[in-house]
Structure 1
Amino acid sequence: MTLRGDAVQVLSGWRAPDSGQEKARLEFLRHLEEHPADGMWRECVDGHITASTAVLDASRTRVLLTLHSKIKAWLQLGGHCEPGDATLADAALREAEEESGIRGLRLLPEPVRLDRHRVGCHPQGSWHLDVQYVAIAPERARHQVSDESDDLGWFPVDELPEPTDDAVRTLVARAVRS
């Protein structure tokens, strides 16, 4: 199965928790239908599927966030799919491991949330259609700041740092309940 095929399968089988998430799910599937060749890839100007992860510590009381070097806000870990990714879950886990330096993350099998947000991948702008997962870090996991981050840190799930946004707050709340 291709990465696009996996994305269609994941999105088709995912049970959205509310009407807003159902609308996003259908929009993501429509995007893949309208862009069969490039809808997964950064090169698609209209937007592209991305994968991200809320990384929780083993106690599920802290979340690992990155101070993104371009956006200058605290965000979950994640990014673009790559040709070597077999599944969306693989992409989410790869991005989380690359950006955190933590090996042995345990990715929960199903996405917890979808988020569509404007990005500057192209001069005229583009959209990330982000499929968001949760990973649990091993006990005493040690992180390492990557080239994509200005900083990386653990924060109590009910005391997120600023600046961040409602999308991150909602993802963390859903992650804790998963």
Structure 2
Amino acid sequence: MLSDALDRFRPVDATEAADVARLRDLLAGGGDAWSRSTPLHVTASALIVHSPSARVLLRWHARQEAWLQVGGHGDPGETDPLDIALREGVEETGLADLKPWPDPAEAAIVHVVIVPVRARGDEPAHEHADVRFVLSTSTPEAARPEKADAPLRWLTVGEALELVTEANLRETLRRITW
């Protein structure tokens, strides 16, 4: 499933091509590429857009102390990154109408990036092979934070580019074309 989606994806530069190659190696390794117990594992995320207002939704992530896209780890047995991004998007925003954008019939990976994750508590530093999508909503006013310390903000892409601190997320934002 993920391998097929990667076959249709075209990296935009050498860095992304190297990240895709590492992800392919992980998938070919025979283990559970989604397992949190491995130093590199797959995650899925998405930028949520409201195209009529040309805005994107960002979520505050307290652990990373940054405004980021929605997303995360697969639950046990989940291996479809789009399904994971959709589930995480609904859980983190309350938006029940999320669908792939710009074409709901053909969900496409928008960005693949290996992201370092700092150690925390008993969890060692590790890496996420993050597979990113863009999802849309027609009900932006329905967005509700999952918890009090994870507020949401609707922003123009320009505002989001100024707010985010992660270079890889800036790149994902630049790939949104209205």
TM-score > 0.5 by shorter chain: yes
Quote the Cα distance in structure 1 between the aligned partners of 2:79 and 2:130. Answer: 17
Please, which of 81, 84, 94 is the counterpart of residue 91 of structure 1?
84
Are the counterparts in 1 of residues 116 and 126 from structure 2 also a CA contact under 8 Å?
yes
Does residue 33 (structure 1) correspond to residue 31 (structure 2)? The answer is no
Q: Structure 2 vs 1, CA of residues 94 and 105 (structure 1 numbering), >3 Å: closer, same or farther?
A: same
- 1:56 CA drift (Å): 0.7
Equivalent of 1:106 in 99, 120, 131: 99
**Residues 1:48 and 2:41 aligned together:** yes
In the alignment, the residues of structure 2 paired with residue 84 and residue 38 of structure 1 have an alpha-carbon distance, to the nearest angstrom, of 10
In structure 2, the residue matched to 1:79 is 72
Task: Provide the TM-score with structure 1 as the length reference.
Answer: 0.85
| Equivalent position of 1:117 in the other structure | 115
SS of match in other structure, 1:41: coil
Q: Alpha-carbon deviation of 1:89?
A: 0.8
- 1:49/1:60 Cα in 2 relative to 1: closer, same or farther (>3 Å)? farther
Aligned to 1:135, the other structure's residue is in SS state: strand
Q: Where do 5+ consecutive residues of structure 2 fail to align?
A: 102-106
Distance 2:132 2:148 in 1: 19
Q: Aligned residues: percent identity?
A: 27
Given that 2:164 and 2:170 are in contact with CA atoms closer than 8 Å, whether structure 1 keeps it comes out as no
State the Cα distance separating 1:165 from its structure 2 match: 1.7
State the 1:148 CA deviation.
8.3
Distance (whole Å) between structure 2 residues aligned to residue 18 and residue 98 of structure 1: 32
Going from structure 1 to structure 2, the CA distance change for 1:149 and 1:37 (only over 3 Å counts) comes to farther
Q: Alpha-carbon deviation of 1:159?
A: 1.0
Distance 1:173 1:64 in 2: 14
User: Per the alignment, in what secondary structure is the counterpart of residue 24 of structure 2?
Assistant: helix
**Distance in 1, Cα, partners of 2:2 & 2:43:** 10
Q: From the superposition, tell whether residues 49 and 15 of structure 1 become closer, same or farther in structure 2 (CA, over 3 Å).
A: same
Aligned residues: 170
The CA distance in 1 between the partners of 2:113 and 2:148, in whole Å, is 21
> What is the alpha-carbon root mean square deviation over aligned residues?
2.1
Unaligned 5+ segments in structure 1 are 1-5
Runs of at least 4 residues off by over 4 Å: none
Distance verdict in 2 for CA 1:60–1:83, change over 3 Å = farther
Alignment TM-score, normalising by the size of structure 2: 0.85
Q: Report whether the alignment pairs 1:8 with 2:6.
A: no
CA deviation after TM superposition for structure 1 residue 113, in Å: 0.4
